[in-house]
Amino acid sequence: MALPQIKQDATDARLAALTLPDGGWSDTARQEAVARVRNMGLPGARDEYWKYTRPDTLVQPDAPKAALFEAEETPVFGEVDRLKIVFVDGVFDAEASDDLAMEHVTIDRLADAADIHWAKDLYGVLETRGQTPVHRPLAALNTAFATDGVLIHVTGKAPKPVSLIYRHESETSDAILHHVVKVESGAELTILENGPAAARFNKCMEIDIADGGVLHHVRAQGRDPERRAATAMFVRLGSESVFKSFTLTANGVLTRNEMVVELTGDDAIAHVAGACVGDGDFHHDDTVFITHDALNCESRQVFKKVLRNGATGVFQGKILVKEGAQKTDGYQISQSLLLDEDSQFLAKPELEIYADDVACSHGSTSGAIDEEGLFYLRSRGIEEGPATDLLTLAFLAEAVMEIEDESLQDEINGRVEAWLTRRRG
């Protein structure tokens, strides 16, 4: 079917501005991805899943300029013993990174990987699976044109987290990164991600977790107020495997985080959580799609957004329970704390269930700060500003607590506290 002209033009313009990298073993996958992009067209304002978020600046050929953040601050996860992999404006920086070697984990740079590589079976494969029933053209664009990224193979319990650090140094950088992670049966890894990355960042991560594998993912996205990001994670879980992901987003004029999870083996567990704090020119969109396609699996979506001065939060979360996926336990909550009347939260929870013995619940709320609680805190001598901050942290706590590791919880809470204090001036 032909694309609408406006979408055709936008897609052509974007593709014309990009050059297909020499991908070696990934060449076929990249060419197929180009075909997918041509076929779907890049997102347009009329697309069902782009109703609440304007895709134009993510699609246009050049990245809109984004100023660098000036304030001094200690980067997040600074206290965590981790293997650091640094990208500057989307380019791997060997100098700043640790040796890409750790017990039970092999890491290759996408650009360097040898011709026959395990990632060949996954690169673009999980992304392709995630294109049905909802199109995610920016992820296909990523598969085709990614210039860098890492391929992480986990064969046992990793001794420390792999930390992906995205630095932003150029005001006009347009970065496309693609990572592939394969967690073997019984293996376990924690992946950390942080940093503003680029003026415009398109990041895709494909994750395959074999039976009994465990992957924890904690991300702190933020800083530069003018940066833009479209990220997508495609996760496939085998039986009795576990995937737990948490994202904190602070600042950024536009962020779209897509999370596509497929529970394909029995007794698997997938938890995805997010907290965002937005002030002013801030648009944050969480789009989540969880498919239950096996018995007795559990999924949780916990998303909390604090919005003020006209900030916008979007949540589109879906649980699809396929035929035969009995004993599914699905839970979804999305809540916003609106600190003034100019901010808005747009939520679209969706459940689609084709099995009869399942428990799925969902809820969505918007509210202001609890006046009773605020008065109680103030009556004990806590000033209005700090009291509001305390209640804000409390509001986000349910999402932050989804992080299993308490020291990582502390890192995230510390980050939110710093943000709140800074905003208070």
Partner 1 sequence: MLEIKNLHVKLEEEDKQILKGVDLSVEAGKVHAIMGPNGSGKSTLSYVLSGRDGYEVTEGEATLEGEDILDMEPEERAAAGLFLAFQYPVEIPGVGNMTFLRTAVNSQRKARGEEEMSAADFLKMIRAKAKELKIDADMLKRPVNVGFSGGEKKRNEILQMAMLEPKMCILDETDSGLDVDAMKLVADGVNALRDAGRGFLVITHYQRLLDHIKPDVVHIMADGRIIKTGGPELALEVENNGYADLLAEVA
Point out which residues bind partner 1 (CB under 8 A): 370-373, 375-384, 386-387, 390-391, 393-398
Output the smallest distance, CB 387 to partner 1, in A. Answer: 8
Closer CB to partner 1, 62 or 384, in the complex: 384
Closer CB to partner 1, 357 or 372, in the complex: 372
Output the smallest distance, CB 176 to partner 1, in A. Answer: 38
Q: 152 and 105 in contact (C-beta within 8 Å)?
A: yes
Closer CB to partner 1, 24 or 414, in the complex: 414
Output the smallest distance, CB 408 to partner 1, in A. Answer: 18
Output the smallest distance, CB 415 to partner 1, in A. Answer: 16
148 DSSP assignment: B
CA distances from 408 to 72, 140, 192, 403, 414 (A): 21, 32, 10, 7, 10
Taking alpha carbons only, the member of 177, 42, 185, 197 closest to residue 123 is 177
Closer CB to partner 1, 360 or 390, in the complex: 390
Closer CB to partner 1, 66 or 276, in the complex: 276
Closer CB to partner 1, 354 or 376, in the complex: 376
Output the smallest distance, CB 338 to partner 1, in A. Answer: 17
Distance CA 200, CA 229 (A): 6
Output the smallest distance, CB 108 to partner 1, in A. Answer: 42
Closer CB to partner 1, 32 or 370, in the complex: 370
Closer CB to partner 1, 101 or 380, in the complex: 380
Closer CB to partner 1, 287 or 335, in the complex: 335
Output the smallest distance, CB 383 to partner 1, in A. Answer: 5
Using CB atoms within 10 A of its CB, is residue 109 exposed (0-12), middle (13-18) or buried (19+)?
middle
Closer CB to partner 1, 170 or 413, in the complex: 413
CA distances from 218 to 125, 163, 201, 273, 414 (A): 24, 9, 18, 10, 14
Distance CA 36, CA 136 (A): 10
Output the smallest distance, CB 81 to partner 1, in A. Answer: 25
Q: Where are the beta strands (DSSP E) in 100-199?
A: 101-102, 105-109, 150-154, 162-167, 174-183, 188-194
The DSSP line for 212-256 is T-EEEEEEEE---TT-EEEEEEEEEE-TT-EEEEEEEEE--SEEE
Distance CA 147, CA 276 (A): 29
**Secondary structure class of 144 (helix, strand, coil):** helix
Closer CB to partner 1, 70 or 372, in the complex: 372
Distance CA 128, CA 32 (A): 10
Using CB atoms within 10 A of its CB, is residue 111 exposed (0-12), middle (13-18) or buried (19+)?
middle
Q: 265 and 254 in contact (C-beta within 8 Å)?
A: no
Residue 19 has, within 13 A of its CA and on its CB side, a CA count of: 2
By DSSP bridging, strand 254-263 and strand 283-292 are parallel
Output the smallest distance, CB 271 to partner 1, in A. Answer: 18
Output the smallest distance, CB 372 to partner 1, in A. Answer: 5
Which residues lie closer than 8 Å to 268 by C-beta, 6 or more apart? Answer: 237, 238, 239, 240, 241, 242, 243, 294, 297, 298
Output the smallest distance, CB 278 to partner 1, in A. Answer: 19
Distance CA 309, CA 9 (A): 35
Q: 333 and 363 in contact (C-beta within 8 Å)?
A: yes
